[in-house]
Amino acid sequence: MKRSVSFILLDLAKLRAIKVDIEDNSAWVQAGATIGEVYYRIAEKSKTHGYPAGLCTSLGIGGHITGGAYGPMMRKYGLGADNVVDAQIVDASGRVLDRALMGEDLFWAIRGGGGGSFGIILAWKVKLVPVPSTVTVFTVPKTLETGATKVLNKWQHVAHKIDEDLFIRILITTVNSTKGKKTVQTAYQALFLGKTDRLLDVMNHSFPELGLTRKDCIEMSWIQSVIYIAGYPSNIKPEFLLQGKSLFPTVNFKAKSDFLRVPVPVTGLQGMWEKFLQNDSPMMIWNPYGGMMGKISESSIPFPHRKGVICKIQYLTAWTDGDKKTADKHINWIRGLYEYMGTFVSKFPREAYVNYRDLDLGMNKNANSNFLEASVWGKKYYKNNYDRLVLVKTEVDPDNFFWHEQSLPILPFKVGQDGKSLIH
Ligand SMILES: Cc1cc2nc3c(=O)[nH]c(=O)nc-3n(C[C@H](O)[C@H](O)[C@H](O)COP(=O)(O)OP(=O)(O)OC[C@H]3O[C@@H](n4cnc5c(N)ncnc54)[C@H](O)[C@@H]3O)c2cc1C
């Protein structure tokens, strides 16, 4: 007989108020607002303020910040979670707490310790960051026939060291080549916090192999760059962000993540292309680190992937029909690619991004959680911050009310105030 597990589904979509205070350099944002709405409301008040969170504008800010929230300004300013100064949360006893009331341990834990473990975030108070009134974007594609392997090889050596104003990510897909054959395409998509002239200087000095020209560069406001980086057509106006939705169709997908600390050798890239060409909708996104990401300590907030990271790799495969066979085919493929990449990516632990929850890494069982079992995925998501997160969880939710497949476990005992003795 199947055991039923009761659960609560909370719809926060109506908690959408956003209060931007330019003088205070901050904004209070309710959890149901999308990040696109947040960006719009900031830009509405000032052309020279922004917030460094995700690229996909339809993400809910409530859950997004709980895992870190990276985006195209992370090399300059860190993550969305690095730029949170206060929050409102409902705890397991139903109390509404702000930073002063929840205390610094819980405030630390909710900024990167993953959603659904500590309580319900009602609102975040975020710190705004300066953006220039003109930024520059570009997208330069390279296929296997036009030097994709050589350019990616170079990117791995420079993208995390280059000027902090520059974020160049790579979107890897397959396309039909001019010869009608399927090939791999690597699209270099960038945001530069400055104008074209300085961008060209930076690129000519550090990454001439991409062959960036003035023609490739488009100057615009920061809010228009949000639309560009999200992949929307250029005729889409910023007001679209207020609709709080994506322009892309809903699909089924499976995603996984890795962090790269040593460049993949050319032979490794060639093997990766072979795997890539075996799927009909493969995608990888390589996001560069370095800059501010390398300057913030691994324990500043629970998100630990900092110094020494070259980039995060996201693997994706999508399908539209509901057929189990189709799903199995895609999931098996992505697991195969992930297995192959194991040779090249971070190890002990093999790090993963908690906002790309991957249930392949393990799951809590039957509404219970176990410190050791959960440490298998917990160490991948949080590294050494896992232990402190479990202590905070045990303290603030001793009955494990906030439970899900990968919620943080509680200890079967409490650590005394001296930090050593155990209370059962
Ligand atoms: C298309 C797409 C693009 C993405 N792009 C980026 C990106 O650019 N950068 C990035 O960092 N991540 C990105 N992500 C990952 C994204 O950050 C996570 O999916 C994140 O969880 C989204 O938050 P949500 O509130 O919309 O999600 P939900 O699915 O609603 O929630 C995710 C988790 O957070 C919990 N949660 C949600 N709201 C709250 C709350 N108010 N209080 C406590 N817990 C809560 C939920 O219980 C759940 O465990 C992307 C994901 C997708 C699907």
Residue 416: in which H helix or E strand, if any? none
pLDDT at 417 (0 to 100): 64
Q: Where are the beta strands (DSSP E) in 71-223?
A: 84-90, 96-97, 120-127, 129-130, 135-143, 166-176, 182-192, 218-220
Instruction: Please state the atom number of ligand 1 nearest to the C-alpha of residue 55.
Output: 8
- Alpha-carbon distance 401 to 399, whole Å? 5
Give the residue among 82, 106, 123, 116 at the shortest CA–CA distance from 354.
116
Residue nearest (by alpha carbon) to ligand 1 atom 6: 54
Note down pLDDT in tens along the chain; length 424 residues. 454 667 889 999 999 999 999 999 999 999 999 999 999 999 999 999 999 999 999 999 999 999 999 999 999 999 999 999 999 999 999 999 999 999 999 999 999 999 999 999 999 999 999 999 999 999 999 999 999 999 999 999 999 999 999 999 999 999 987 777 899 999 999 999 999 999 999 999 999 999 999 999 999 999 999 999 999 998 999 999 999 888 888 889 999 999 999 999 999 999 999 999 998 889 999 999 999 999 999 999 999 999 999 999 999 999 998 899 999 999 999 999 999 999 999 999 999 999 999 999 999 987 778 999 999 999 999 999 999 999 999 999 999 999 999 999 999 876 666 665 555 5
Interval between CA 199 and ligand 1 midpoint (Å): 32
77 in catalytic set: no
- Checking DSSP bridges between strand 218-220 and strand 129-130, what pairing results, if any? unpaired
Q: Which residues pair with 415 in a beta bridge?
A: 422
Domains, in order of start, for the chain: 18-130 (3.30.465.10), 135-220+249-341 (3.40.462.20), 359-423 (no CATH)
Distance, CA of 227 to CA of 27 (rounded, Å) = 21
Give Cα separations from 27 to 42, 125, 129, 150 (angstroms).
8, 6, 11, 43
CB 214 within 8 A of CB 196: yes
Binding site membership of 115 for ligand 1 (Cβ less than 6 Å): yes
Confidence (pLDDT) at 246: 82
d(CA 360, CA 93): 32
Ligand 1 lined by 120 (C-beta under 6 Å):
yes
List the residue whose alpha carbon is closest to atom 48 of ligand 1.
115
What are residue 389's phi and psi, to 5 degrees?
A: -60, -40
| Binding site membership of 31 for ligand 1 (Cβ less than 6 Å) | yes
Q: Which atom of ligand 1 is nearest to the CA of 253?
A: 53
- Which residue out of 37, 66, 377, 402 has the highest number of ligand 1 atoms within 8 Å of its CB and is therefore the one to mutate? 66
- The residue with tokens 């999200």 is 230
Catalytic position from the list 356, 381, 382, 386: 356
Q: Does ligand 1 come within 6 angstroms of the Cβ of 121? A: yes
Structure tokens at 207: 């990454």
CA distances from 40 to 46, 129, 237, 411 (A): 10, 14, 11, 43
pLDDT for the residue 1: 43
Query: Which helix or strand (DSSP H or E) is residue 364 part of?
Result: none
